[in-house]
Amino acid sequence: MSTNLVLNFRSALKNPRWRRALFIAVVSDALGFAVVLLPPLQWALDAVTAIAFLIVLGYRWKLLTALVVELIPAIQLFPTWTLVVLAMAATESPKIK
């Protein structure tokens, strides 16, 4: 099963939208560390990140759960966006051409 996840992840990273989503996630999590003591800026960053994901990936329930986790004050230091995008890329079934 783990081999299948690795193959799915490799396949997903060949797609430019997953690469963009991973870039957005990493940048958002990095900027999140810089604004951790300023909650309104953190919320704005999370809102902009969620909108960017809607544009790049479309609506997905897993992204909504990541947004909820990001809004919890003690957990916002955890790189939630990056981990959710990595998990989504690994578990998405590859498109059959």
Question: Per this entry, what is the length of the chain?
Answer: 97
Question: Looking at residues 28-45, what average pLDDT do you find?
Answer: 89
Q: Give me the helices (H) in the chain, please.
A: 2-13, 16-34, 39-57, 61-70, 80-91
User: Which sequence spans correspond to the domains of the chain?
Assistant: 2-91
Q: How far is CA 88 from CA 3, 13, 18, 43, 60, in A?
A: 16, 11, 9, 23, 10
Give phi and psi for 18, each to the nearest 5. -70, -35
pTM exceeds 0.75, yes or no: yes
pLDDT in tens, 8-23: 777 777 788 888 999 9
Give phi and psi for 58, each to the nearest 5. 85, 180
Residue that wins the pLDDT comparison between 49 and 71? 49
The rounded distance, in Å, linking the Cα atoms of 12 and 34 is 29
